[in-house]
Amino acid sequence: MALLKEGSAASLRQAIAYTQPLVTPDKHWLWSVFEPLQTWASIQQGNLSLKPRLLASLQGHNSARHPLGTLIHALCVYWVQPDATTQLLYVLESFYTDLKASGYYWLAMEAAELLARLTPESTYA
């Protein structure tokens, strides 16, 4: 995360290299967190062809199995395309409700914060 925050070309390349062994599904238990972060870093380096893949893969994400990965994925989509409101709302509204009902309050509040940014007039704000 520190490399991504730094944002320089060298640090983004290094972040991509670090995450490479971790992004294959079922090879690492946190693959669902690292895969969207790696894609985001690649987009930041100019590989804009990955943008549609990042957006499309959010729809198929299994939020029940990987709630942290779903939140990170939604944040990456928001960072890449903040106007992807419809796609994000579709995923985040039910995600927020499920998290809250399951007692994952920290993740629920992070999802609510993103929902509030997407829909300022909503009850999440």
Domain count along the chain? 1
SS (H, E, C) the chain: CHHHHHCCHHHHHHHHHHHHHHCCCCCCCCHHHHHHHHHHHHHHCCCHHHHHHHHHHHHCCCCCCCHHHHHHHHHHHHHHCCCCHHHHHHHHHHHHHHHHHHCCHHHHHHHHHHHHHHCCCCCCC
Which residue segment(s) compose the domain that 60 sits in? 2-118
pTM equals 0.83
Q: Is residue 84 situated within a structural domain?
A: yes
pLDDT in tens, 18-71: 888 778 777 777 788 888 889 989 999 999 999 999 988 887 666 666 788 889
Q: Is residue 123 situated within a structural domain?
A: no
Q: Is residue 125 situated within a structural domain?
A: no
Q: Is residue 75 situated within a structural domain?
A: yes
Q: Is residue 124 situated within a structural domain?
A: no
pLDDT in tens, 68-114: 888 999 999 999 988 888 888 888 998 999 999 999 999 999 999 99
Q: Is residue 36 situated within a structural domain?
A: yes
Q: Is residue 45 situated within a structural domain?
A: yes
Q: Is residue 10 situated within a structural domain?
A: yes
